[in-house]
Amino acid sequence: MARTASLSGYLELLPAERLVELHLLDTLREVFEAHGYSNLETRAVETVDTLLQKGEIDKEIYAISRIHDDDAAKEAKLALRFDNTVPFARYVTENAGHLAFPYRRYQIQKVWRGERPQAGRFREFTQADIDIVGEGALSTRADVEIAVVMAKALQTLQIGEFTLRVNSRKLSEGFYQAIGLTETAAVLRAVDKLEKIGPDRVARELSETAGATEEQARQALSLAQIRTADTSFASQVRELLPADAAGAELLEEGLAELTEVVDELNARVPGRAEADLSIARGLDYYTGTVIETVLRGHEELGSICSGGRYESLATKGKRSFPGVGLSIGVTRLLSALVDSGELGASRTVPTAVYVTLRADEDWAAAQDVADQLRARGISAEVAFSAEKFGKQIKYADKRGIPFVWFTDGDGGHEVKDIRSGEQTAADPASWSPPAEDLTPQIIHKTAEG
C-alpha cells in the first residue's frame, strides 16, 4: 500500500490486499449477524442541509453537481455522505412505519471526507457501523450490547490487543455545569483535542471559547485525566467537585450509566474496556455514552472504532428515535495492518487449480474438468491456449495458484503442487487439495509477535 497513488487520498488494493479486506468485512458481517443485526445499505448522496445539521465538519463535506451546471459550487444542493450515521438517521425517520423497534442494523459502505491525505487518513474509505435505535426511549443496556458486540468483532478479527475507552457525555457535561461552565459544547470540543494539542493549549481554548477561568480549566483537565479499569472513577469524580458545587443531577445520571456500562463490559469482555474521562467525541449529536478504541502498537492511528449514544439525531414530528452505535474505520485499520505485515494472504487469488491445455482442441474437455472441481467447491481456472507447459506453469505460479492440472492424450489426469514439485495421479470427481489450500488463508502476525 505504500506504492505511489495516482490520486492521493483514494486507496486501490492489489489482489492479495483485497483478499485481506474481504476477510475483515466477512468476519465483521458474521459477528454482527450472529448478534441479530440486519444489513442496510443507504444511498451515497444526501442533501447538503441534512449533512450540515449534524456536527462540525462542514469543511470536509464533498458537494456534488452536474459538470455543466452554472455556478456549480454555489448551487450544489447534494453532497456525499461523510459517515453512515447521519444517512441512517434519515432512513429511520423516513421508514419508521415499516421498522420494528428496537431496530438493530449493520452497514458497511464507503464514505467521503475532504481531509488532508496522510498515513491512515483517506478521502474515500470504508466504514463498518452497528446501531440500535429505539422509539421514544432506549435502555442503557443497548450501550452495553453495542460495545460488547464490537469488542467481540475486534477479537474475532485477531488484530492484536485493543482497549475500548469509555466515557459519558452526561457525566462530562454535568461536571462542567457543576463547576459553573455553561458552554458545555465548547468545552467538549476543546477537551476532545487533548491528545492532539496537549493540556496547555486546551486550557487556552477553554478560556477563549468557553469563558473558563484558570480554576475551571484546571478542574476540567483534572476530570479528563481520570482513567480506571473499574468503576472507581465515580469516587474520583466526586472528589473533584467543590463543596459549594451547584446541583449535579446530570452528572449523577452520567455516573450511574457509565458505571453500568463499565461493570457489564468487564463481565462480558474482561480486560477490553476502561473508563477514560478524556473521551468526548467531536460530533455534536452524541448525548450519553461515548467510546473510542485504541489498538496497541498502532496508537498513531488514533481511534480505530468509535461512536456513542445519541438521543435526538433522528426525530419525526413528536416522535424521537434515540440510538447508540459504533463504527470501525475499516480502510484505516486495513492499511495499517497490511503495511506492517501483521495481516496478509497466503496467495493472491482464490484459484486453487490451474487446468492446463495439452492442445488447443482440449479446451472444452479442460472446462469439464474445471466444472467437476468447482461443483465440489474447488476454485479452478482454465488456460486459454496450449502454450508450452513450462509457460503455463510459470503463469500459474505468478498468479499464486498452488496446483496445476494435466490431462494426457488417453484421458489420464495428474495434478502438480508447483511449490513442492510433487506430481500425482488425480481424479477430477474426487481429488481435493489440502484444507489449507482450498481457499486463501489470512496470515495473522501481531505487532507483539
Number of domains in the chain: 3
**Is 229 found in the same domain as 321?**
yes
* Pairing outcome for strands 162-168 and 227-228: unpaired
pLDDT, position 54 = 58
**Is 314 found in the same domain as 362?**
no
Kindly report the CATH number assigned to the domain that includes residue 391.
Answer: 3.40.50.800
pLDDT, position 75 = 56
> Is 131 annotated in some ligand binding site?
yes
pLDDT, position 317 = 86
Among 298, 320, 345, identify where a domain stops: 345
How far apart CA 447 and CA 19 sit, in angstroms, is 20
pLDDT, position 1 = 58
**Planar angle of CA 132, 138, 141, nearest 5 degrees:** 75
How far apart CA 234 and CA 230 sit, in angstroms, is 10
Segments forming the whole domain that contains residue 395 = 353-432
> Is 167 annotated in some ligand binding site?
no
> Is 91 annotated in some ligand binding site?
no
In a domain, 443, yes or no: no
pLDDT, position 118 = 74
- Per-10-residue mean pLDDT, the chain, length 449: 73 93 97 98 92 68 79 69 91 95 97 82 94 95 96 95 96 93 90 89 93 93 95 94 74 95 95 94 82 92 92 84 95 92 94 97 97 98 96 96 95 96 97 97 71
Q: How far is CA 74 from CA 63, 64, 77, 189, 345, in A?
A: 10, 11, 9, 29, 46
pLDDT, position 448 = 45
In a domain, 6, yes or no: no
**Is 403 found in the same domain as 282?**
no
> Is 37 annotated in some ligand binding site?
no
Contact 29, 108 (CB under 8 A): yes
How far apart CA 17 and CA 76 sit, in angstroms, is 36
> Is 127 annotated in some ligand binding site?
yes
> Is 281 annotated in some ligand binding site?
yes
**Is 97 found in the same domain as 175?**
yes
* Pairing outcome for strands 403-407 and 353-355: parallel
pTM of the full structure: 0.89
In a domain, 286, yes or no: yes
In a domain, 5, yes or no: no
**Is 165 found in the same domain as 293?**
yes
> Is 285 annotated in some ligand binding site?
yes
pLDDT, position 70 = 59
**Is 230 found in the same domain as 116?**
yes
Contact 415, 423 (CB under 8 A): yes
